[in-house]
Amino acid sequence: MKIDSNVSAIVTGGASGLGLATVKALVDKGVKVTIFDLKEDQAKKVAEEIGSLATYSVGDVSNEQNVNAALDVACGQGDLRICVNCAGIGWAQRVVNSQGVPHDMKWFETVLRVNLIGTFNVMRLAASRMLKTEPLEDNERGVIINTASVAAFDGQIGQVAYSASKGGIVGMTLPAARDLSPAGIRVLTIAPGIMDTPLLGLLPEDQRKALGQGVLFPKRLGTPEEFAKLAIQMVENSYLNGETVRLDGGLRMPPK
């Protein structure tokens, strides 16, 4: 897909981390981007710093009304062609701990609701809007990029909820692409490894370096900019569809 100033995009979780890097990369291409995030102050600040090509909407990805409000904003900026889902949360807890206490069911459901159900909610509603646009070359109307994790394949001890949510995103990539192929909408997923996001930025530098040493090559943490670069490549290469791409430096996560 050719990216130009006529294109509108929505990025969930776009106020920080992987989402913010993706917002900036799209804006650099001239795309009008709507940042959809729970954190109003942060989303507003980012949009103001970027300028006229960025706007924002606040809400929960699993809430249909919130998502539709954000899509209204995005569609008001131009033809909605790009949706990148970066919003997500994590939770660490074993199925049963050493004292025999079972995993908190509330948190398992919460992680699934935000990561998996939220991703699907945005995908289905964004696709509905894309369907109303005029087709481009090859009858393409848009592309949806979801964010999974290497935890979908190599879930570590304590990652059962997170891994289940990300595995679900991987699992729905191909059937979603098949469902949306008649409309000319592509669906892809990025499965990042250990990325240098604000969350990892809270760790001491020696711990950050130790994490990077587990990567096959290059032996470092991935950057949000590398994620954004891959997202742009996915948008621009129309023959990429129905696929999950690991962005992990060859990392295979150990049990812990």
Residues with a known catalytic role: 162
* C-alpha span between 73 and 67 (Å, rounded): 10
Residue count (the chain): 256
Tokens at 13, concatenated: 């979780």
- Structure-block tokens of residue 124: 């289905």
Indicate left, alpha or beta for 163 from its phi (over 0: left) and psi (-120 to 50: alpha). alpha
Q: Beta partners for 152? A: none
Residues 187 and 180: beta-carbon distance below 8 Å: yes
Q: Give the number of C-alpha atoms closer than 13 A to the C-alpha of residue 8, restricted to the C-beta side.
A: 20
Non-local CB neighbours of 167 within 8 Å, separated by 6+ positions: 148, 152, 153, 155
Query: Using the 8-state DSSP alphabet, how is residue 156 labeled?
Result: P
**Which residues, at least 6 apart from 51, have a Cβ–Cβ distance to it below 8 Å?**
none
